[in-house]
């Protein structure tokens, strides 16, 4: 049974792993070819005889700092943020804040209170329109057959819902 592994990226007593093990780490998930390219780009490793081994925390720090792997929420499922070095935690928080501000400027983020107020107003309008329907239709429907009453009520409900949908579309 596989368990979740937390890596302490601040640990000086780093675990050494082979290319095969490094490539299979969920946070890395890369081919041997990609790892060899990263070595050429400067990713830290040590030699044990003629074999390259990688200090996990140093390798992952290097990969994050050089943009080779993305520190996203997917990776943060594997990592406890507190295990990241403070400078990387700050970079991550800063990047998330910038993304949030950009999304807000683009209108992709709306404040909770605005959404709640609009939902309340739409719900109130729907409730008021439905409660007013019997009063509006009572005189018109007196003496009508049940299928005529049903059809007229369905028309009225459809009109009310179309008005609500138009209001929602205009609010967005």
Q: What is the mean pLDDT of the segment spanning 152-172? A: 88
How far CA 104 is from CA of 49, 57, 97, 169, in Å, comes to: 54, 35, 10, 19
Does residue 13 have a pLDDT over 60? no
pLDDT tens digits along 50-81:
999 988 888 888 988 888 876 654 444 455 66
Q: Which residues contact 69 (CB under 8 A, 6 or more apart)?
A: 27, 28, 60, 63, 75
The pTM score is 0.41
Determine which of 21-35, 41-55, 61-75, 123-137 has the lowest per-residue pLDDT on average: 61-75
For every residue of 78-134, DSSP letters joined together read: HS-GGGS-HHHHHHHHHHHHHHHHHHHHTT----HHHHHHHHHHHHHHHHHHHHHHH
Residue 133, pLDDT above cutoff 50: yes
CB 53 within 8 A of CB 18: yes
């Amino acid at each position: 049974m596989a368990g979740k592994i937390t890596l302490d990226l601040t640990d000086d007593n780093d675990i050494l792993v082979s290319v095969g093990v490094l490539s299979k780490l969920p946070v890395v998930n890369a081919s041997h070819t990609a790892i060899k390219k990263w070595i050429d780009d400067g990713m830290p490793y040590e030699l044990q005889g003629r074999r390259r081994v990688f200090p996990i925390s140093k390798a992952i720090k290097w990969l994050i700092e050089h943009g080779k792997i993305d520190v996203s929420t997917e990776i943060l499922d594997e990592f406890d943020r507190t295990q990241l070095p403070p400078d990387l935690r700050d970079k991550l928080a800063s990047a998330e804040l910038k993304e949030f501000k950009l999304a807000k400027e683009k209108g992709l983020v709306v404040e909770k209170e605005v959404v709640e107020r609009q939902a309340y107003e739409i719900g109130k309008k729907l409730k008021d329109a439905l409660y007013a329907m019997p009063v509006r239709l009572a005189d018109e429907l007196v003496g009508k057959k049940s299928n005529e009453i049903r059809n007229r009520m369905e028309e009225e409900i459809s009109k009310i819902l179309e008005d609500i949908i138009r209001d929602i579309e205009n609010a967005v």
